[in-house]
Structure 1
């Protein structure tokens, strides 16, 4: 005899002859939480590299441009995965594509562990890590959202899926950076051990994900496969929605542009002030930004508004203020101002991730959710290219001037969002 707990079906414990009363069934984790863990470990793999940039620059004597290219090449693996994985999961199911993403996570960390043999292993490993996060964001987040509603989780509110999905990303990213950074500063084999630890954490999630039911029904999967070759289904009709084009796409690149500048690029600017504690600062900056983002995300829905663009507009202003603090930190060579900049930018990230996903969920239909989620993250993650662009131009123009232009561009984006949202409020 079995009982459906709402999460998984578990057998009742056999009763002795002296007591025939049925024992209460044990409850396992809810289904969305199992997928949440898979997205968490995928995000861990994507961001564990960030605090190590300074280590590669100091120990391997790589140029600043190459080090920031390690950060940016991640986007080249991430963007295609974001755009393709959603369509594939609509045809073959969320579970199968998520398992592929866990495979790329292990391959990526394995290649990064061979980093001491040459920068090519780091570049290719970062491509695989980017693909991992792309799959997790487009497919894993959609799966979490679908498992956070009826019939899987009928008690969850409408925003639960967005909150849970964004929290899994930021917490996973923060833990990955923390583990790697601490090992890089004080642990053995800092260029190898962080990636082996991630592999050890990621492998069990193959078995965890295998227990989770597919949220896409068989008729829906069959209909998607019958519609023709998968590449013809890459078109996302909801992507042409005016609110998505004029509001979401204008604002969302600032989510990760701010993050990349704050905890990816700033530690290299403060190298003279941090000295031998540079890796500790890089790790702390990353954890502060992602920790503040994670802490605020459960409350970010209060900033978001369905009748305006309040959430995304506030995010852009906050990110602009945070980059302004990055400029002050660089000029004053102040570690404390640098940490304050990361806290402010983390606050903006928390608002932007939740508000952006809520916008996507309102605009996309059931069959377009994974695709539009992937496009949202692809555009947002383009911001990770910012440090590489800044490093390339920094030989010609002072960094403070470049960052001043970045702040000005953020303010222009804010004006465009404020002008556009009133004309594009209706969402089907």
Structure 2
């Protein structure tokens, strides 16, 4: 990385308290990114093949990953504001396509990709900007990790509220295919006006060098990143998607009268548990160890065991229990990963390393499509496939335990 991040002390007097504008923008974009999830049941009931709908869930990863990997380093190079200001507008455009494309797979796909681009910018650029605005001289010193927690909670709250509102409106309100998306359009437009006023924290470099040099993130090769952060990141959205994308689909024939609302309920429960536990994650985290990562993966292992049982018995309470446990694992893992990155990253590659972390985590949204394909083409049962997930989660936990006290600079 050649760009240098410079926190501007001259702006401290006017910038204090400006972090909520960035947090609100992240919240609105996350709302739009996840409102599609509880509607999976609706689209499948309307005749779209299950594998196609699960692929649409994954399609926004096609927008997220490039936006993460390019947007993060570019914001280290040119500043946070130029990259983050258009993000709410891109999210609004994606929601518009989703609102009027219920019968068109290409429109739904394009809308999902646009929502993914916006979310990628919010997660890489917005999270870094929020972290910088949450520390001196822009905000009072509230302790290490406050920026990571604010970012994780803004994202998780947006995911949860967006999904819950979308499911309720699609189940009982008029215009089930459009109303939730149109509400998000309004929220994103409002957020766009606010984020434009947030102060810049990065000085644009007059001669930053080659962009391809900035796209290299050497710190991602550190042993602690590969041995602690990556195992946790791999399960963030794999576990969440298991809870609120796969289980509601399996339960749909058992939930009479309100399958969309039940899907929204499970999504909200998963993410609410994740949100609630993030507020105490700092007490779990212990610098110099991987304690928070271990606790996260313990929840994931237990949650996948619960998923095996829930997929076998297909009862409401088993599904809710699975959502609670996997949601807790997701919530602790989000904070654990972001705080590890704050400790590992240099100022000039914070956004880039955050981008790598989120890129790994979002690959987990491919899990529902993979499971649906294996179930349809090979005939594998969901309990057996979830059992394989238990073994994989145990393997990740063992890797983290083996590297419990690996130093941040172990591979320098």
Please give the TM-score of this superposition, normalised by the length of structure 1. Answer: 0.90
Task: Output the CA distance in 2 between the equivalents of 1:7 and 1:207.
Answer: 21
Kindly report which structure 2 residues correspond to 1:45-194, keeping only aligned pairs within 5 A, or say none: 45-59=32-46, 61-194=47-180
The counterpart of 1:410, out of the listed 380, 393, 402, is 393
Note the residue ranges of structure 1 that are not aligned, 5 or more in a row: 10-28
Answer yes or no: is the 8 Å Cα contact 2:307–2:383 preserved in 1: no
Matched, 1:35 2:22: yes
Quote the RMSD (CA, aligned, Å).
Answer: 1.7
The counterpart of 1:240, out of the listed 221, 226, 251, is 221
Answer yes or no: is the 8 Å Cα contact 2:289–2:406 preserved in 1: no
Deviation at 1:249, TM superposition (A): 1.0
Task: Output the CA distance in 1 between the equivalents of 2:77 and 2:403.
Answer: 35
Answer yes or no: is the 8 Å Cα contact 1:7–1:31 preserved in 2: no
Deviations 1:262-299 (A, max 9, x none): 00111011112112221111111111111111111111
Deviations 1:326-373 (A, max 9, x none): 221221111111011111111111110111100001000000100000
The counterpart of 1:399, out of the listed 382, 387, 392, is 382
**Greater C-alpha Rg:** 1
Answer yes or no: is the 8 Å Cα contact 2:145–2:342 preserved in 1: no
Note the residue ranges of structure 2 that are not aligned, 5 or more in a row: 1-9
Task: Output the CA distance in 2 between the equivalents of 1:349 and 1:101.
Answer: 25
Deviations 1:153-211 (A, max 9, x none): 12321111011000000001111101111111001111111111100111022221111
Aligned twin of 1:299 = 280
Deviation at 1:383, TM superposition (A): 1.0
Kindly report which structure 2 residues correspond to 1:261-276, keeping only aligned pairs within 5 A, or say none: 261-276=242-257
Answer yes or no: is the 8 Å Cα contact 2:288–2:407 preserved in 1: no
Aligned twin of 2:6 = none
Task: Output the CA distance in 1 between the equivalents of 2:192 and 2:295.
Answer: 39
| Structure 1 runs, 4 residues or longer, greater than 3 Å off | 4-9, 421-428
Answer yes or no: is the 8 Å Cα contact 2:86–2:192 preserved in 1: no
Aligned residues: 400
Matched, 1:222 2:209: no
Answer yes or no: is the 8 Å Cα contact 2:222–2:409 preserved in 1: no
Task: Output the CA distance in 1 between the equivalents of 2:240 and 2:362.
Answer: 10
Matched, 1:340 2:326: no
Deviation at 1:419, TM superposition (A): 1.4
Task: Output the CA distance in 2 between the equivalents of 1:150 and 1:384.
Answer: 36
Answer yes or no: is the 8 Å Cα contact 1:6–1:30 preserved in 2: no
Aligned twin of 1:20 = none
- Cα gap change, 1:193 to 1:7, in 2 (>3 Å): farther
Matched, 1:384 2:362: no
Matched, 1:290 2:281: no
The counterpart of 2:337, out of the listed 348, 356, 362, is 356
Deviation at 1:5, TM superposition (A): 11
Deviations 1:12-55 (A, max 9, x none): xxxxxxxxxxxxxxxxx821111100100010110010000000
SS in 2 for 1:415: helix
Aligned twin of 1:15 = none
Higher relative contact order (CA 8 A, sep 6+): 2
Deviations 1:61-104 (A, max 9, x none): 11111111111111111111111101111222111111121121
